[in-house]
Amino acid sequence: MLQGQIEQFSSDGTVSGWFRKSTFAKPAIARIAFNDGTVQRVIADRFRRDLLERGISHGHYGFLLRAPAVAASGATLAVLLDDETESPVAEARMSGLPLVQSRAYPLLLHVEDIIAPEQRWTCEDIATHVSNFNVTQACSSLGVETFVERIAQFCFGEFPSSEMMMGFADAIKSRTATPERVFLAMLDSKQALEKGVQSLPGPYSPEYPFS
């Protein structure tokens, strides 16, 4: 089932908001229907820090659609439709403003400004909201050693050192540390700091260890 909302429909034809389905494996696709008869498909894969902060999983559910022809045609209503069932999920009327004023882009005013600098999550984002992720479930399904390898590749793009592998794997197996605690430690590890990691692979990339 699709859930989400249209947060802005501006007079230049820009539509923004977010939506998601229950799956983590790939970004959701939906349709935006306008009251001039136009229907356009849109994908939701942009990182939204505000969604992460609200506990909406990994937060990569934002979308941005530019449809200047729709604005020129006189459309005044945009409706978010489930791509499979065509059921309406949310709608928004044109605001009359050629600006995007979504919480996702609080410091960016003009549409041109929000096209280029797409937000990316950081180690701090994930560490602060680690409860949003299925860390323990991932460890259980992957196995301890594979779990440690996968989160190392996710955190700093390479396999863990033998010392790190042994230390973290033993800690999980002996239950002196939870998988979540190991993940947090790796985000803050010397190896990660030496790599200078600031941003991480997105949840739809092969490196993402959680399903």
pLDDT (tens, 9 = 90+) of the chain, 211 residues, equals: 889 999 999 888 899 999 998 765 789 999 999 999 999 999 999 999 999 999 999 999 999 999 888 888 888 999 999 998 999 999 999 875 544 444 443 433 344 444 445 678 888 899 999 999 999 999 999 999 999 999 999 988 888 889 999 999 999 999 999 999 999 998 887 777 666 666 788 898 888 998 7
pLDDT for position 96: 59
Position 104 scores a pLDDT of: 43
Q: Is residue 203 part of a domain?
A: no
Q: What pLDDT does 112 receive?
A: 43
Full residue range of the structural domain in which residue 28 is found: 3-115
Residue at 175 is within a domain = yes
| C-alpha–C-alpha distance, residues 150 and 197, integer Å | 16
Confidence (pLDDT) at 190: 73
Distance from CA of residue 188 to its chain's centroid? Answer: 22
164 and 110 in one domain? no
Q: pLDDT at position 23, please? A: 64
Q: Provide the pLDDT for residue 191.
A: 73
Q: How far apart are CA 65 and CA 98, in angstroms?
A: 14
- Regarding whether 11 and 78 lie in a shared domain, the answer is yes
The number of folded domains in the chain is 2
Same domain, 78 and 147: no
As a whole number of angstroms, the distance between CA 7 and CA 99 comes to 12
Q: Is residue 200 part of a domain?
A: no
| Residues 107 and 139 occupy one common structural domain | no
> Quick check: is 20 in a domain?
yes
Give the integer Cα–Cα distance in Å for 118 and 120: 7
CA-based nearest residue to 164, from 188, 129, 139? 188
Asked if residue 136 and residue 88 are part of one domain, the reply reads: no
What was the pLDDT predicted at 170? Answer: 97
Give how far Cα 155 sits from Cα of 37, 44, 120, 139, Å.
46, 24, 14, 15
Tokens in use for 17? 């908001």
